[in-house]
Amino acid sequence: MSKFHHMRYWPGWIIVGLLILLSKLPYRLQLHIGKFLGLCLFHGSKKLTAVARININLCFPELSDIQRRQLFKKNCISSGIAIMETAFAWYGKESKLRPLLHLHGEEHIQKAQTENRGILFIGPHFLTIEIANRLYTLDHDVSLMYRKSKNDFLNFIIETALKKHNKQIIERNQVYQLIKTLKKGESIGYTPDIDGGYYNSIFVPFFNIPASTLTAPAKIAKFTNATVLLSTYYRRDDGTGYDITFSPVPANFPSDNIEKDITYINQWLEEVIRKKPEQYLWQYKRFKTRPKAGHAARNIYCEANTSRLAASTLRMGFLKGRGDPPL
């Protein structure tokens, strides 16, 4: 903590102080400020939003250029709102947060607790993830899996905020701690829609694109006999809060076929993302790792950062299953 008192961290502390102040504003005013930030993002640097534009082009080939641009704009606005939601989640008062919670499927949680089984919550990287986590922890204990940033100051701020409201936070590489927690009958939130590289991952379709996908969720569920609950957390369009919903997986999950299990998870993720695609984290390089086709796989995000033509070319060749994109 002491090293963060140095003056080089002062700009960061000023931003944190501003977020704390903004979190005290009325919720609907926070939404309006978030929309303004999102519009600034939309009209700002194309380099900052290049990954989101490429991902949307790749995942929604059935949409026209105008429709994809509209989706991209909505996603920018949702991203701006997410900044305000994160501040509200980390620093907001419980009395202001509680009216925003609309919980569905709690009976599945109670059933697992009655059976003294751990709960593995699987959910997508929606932009609402921070505020959904805070709302859930108003009445329930849960631990989180997370990935450390390369920025020490940012890590300190994130970890301090998360530790206040979660039972524990577990780094993604601490698999033993994750298993230990589930075997104790506790709950963990896990977001599997990340690029898993070539280690402990397999390539299965995600929006009809071969995506490097972690096999950990199915393996961990089988090893720990934990209850797996699928989780969604949508922001309501009318500004009245968030619908947090839990649903069970099929009775045969996990099975003896790891590819079948992971494909099922990706299909479910795609299904729930399509319901509100503007609320998904399209800024993440989900398709960075490509199947190797006799040569070094290339990064689809390198060459096409700002080119609409390049993104269209990617979509045309890549979605037809030709392996690496034609860069």
Q: In whole angstroms, how far apart are CA 117 and each of 77, 146, 187? A: 39, 22, 9
* E strand residue ranges, the chain: 101-104, 119-122, 143-146, 169-171, 187-190, 201-206, 209-214, 227-235, 242-248
DSSP 226: P
281-290 tens-digit pLDDT: 999 999 999 8
Q: Which one is predicted more confidently, 69 or 45?
A: 69
Q: Is residue 298 pLDDT above 60, yes or no?
A: no
Could you tell me the sign of the dihedral formed by the alpha carbons of 280, 249, 239, 14, in that order?
Answer: negative
Q: Is residue 296 pLDDT above 70, yes or no?
A: no
Host H or E run for residue 88: helix 65-91
Could you tell me the sign of the dihedral formed by the alpha carbons of 79, 81, 85, 88, in that order?
Answer: positive
In this structure, the strands spanning 143-146 and 169-171 are: parallel
Q: Which one is predicted more confidently, 183 or 147?
A: 183
Confidence of residue 323 (pLDDT cuts 50, 70, 90): very low
250-268 tens-digit pLDDT: 999 999 999 999 999 999 9
311: which 2 tokens? 């993104």
Residue that the structure tokens 């589930």 belong to: 182
Confidence of residue 91 (pLDDT cuts 50, 70, 90): very high
Each residue of 61-89: b (16+ CB within 10 Å) or e?
eeeeeeebbebbbbbbbbbbbbbbbbbbb
